[in-house]
Amino acid sequence: SRKIVIKIGSNTLAKDDGTISRAFLENLGEDVHQLMREGKQVVIVSSGARIAGVSTIGKWMRKEDINYKQALCAIGQVELMDAYRRVFEKHGIHIGQILYTREDFLEGSRSLNIRNTLFTLAEEGVVPIINENDSVCVDEIKIGDNDTLAAYTANIWNADLLIMLSDIDGIYSKNPKTCEDAKLVELVESIDELRKSIEIGCGNLFGTGGIETKIEAARKVGDYKIPMILSNGKVPHIIEKLKKGEAKGTLFD
């Protein structure tokens, strides 16, 4: 596969204390650099603006208030991009920021613009880093989670593969965080069969989508024949390891 979308969840990006994990980003920078040396194009969909905002400001602002939430995202998005920029700069890779709203994917001319911008950046060797524009979208009109945003992005860019990095090795028979006997599902050929065979527990501290939106993302890209791999971003150099078949994960094919 030549065109790869990598989605990074909040739980992957943030350490337990809520600050951005430099170690993760350093690893990611090296892996992406390696992919690009192999002639691949990479687009990143990254969560984490709100957490980055919180850790920058140093305290939870009145978090139930929508304006405060959006303010935190405005602050955190800058921190997030700064962290990415510093890491990719070391490898001589430029990054570009794209912030989307739901309408952008629904409306014909806007989605064409998205497509053209992605193609142009990727062909120029720039890594686009995508997030939802949380400072302008209220909950009611949001895409709502970056799993869905990553699926839209993969489809609109005609990607060959979507890699979704979370804090679990893949889809399990039950929530692996609470059930010791949960078993990893390594290959999914039918999403309907998968749904019948697993239990979905609630997600994590920072996550928004949970497993539900990841399965739906796999369905969305599957409609366009794009495979998806869900794997664990907490494993150092996970992308290199996936390439070598040395990492666990769930493949939707």
In DSSP terms, 42 is beta-bridged to: 4
Joined together, the tokens standing for residue 138 give: 């209220």
Q: Are 38 and 78 in contact (CB under 8 A)?
A: no
Classify residue 109 as exposed, middle or buried by CB count within 10 Å of its CB (0-12, 13-18, 19+). exposed
Was 146 annotated as part of a binding site? yes
What are the residues binding ligand ADP (CB under 6 A)? 9-12, 166-168, 171-172, 174-177, 198-201, 203-204, 206-211
Min dist CB 12 to ligand ADP, Å, is 6
Was 30 annotated as part of a binding site? no
DSSP 166-195: ESSSSEESS-TTT-TT--EE-EES-HHHHH
Report the run of H or E that residue 76 belongs to, with start and end.
helix 66-89
Was 21 annotated as part of a binding site? no
Joined together, the tokens standing for residue 207 give: 């996550």
Residue number, 41 or 69, with CB nearest to ligand ADP: 69
Min dist CB 168 to ligand ADP, Å, is 5
Min dist CB 91 to ligand ADP, Å, is 24
Min dist CB 13 to ligand ADP, Å, is 8
Was 214 annotated as part of a binding site? yes
Was 223 annotated as part of a binding site? no
Q: Residues annotated in the binding site for substrate, as ranges?
A: 47, 134, 146
Q: Residues annotated in the binding site for ATP, as ranges?
A: 7, 166-167, 208-214
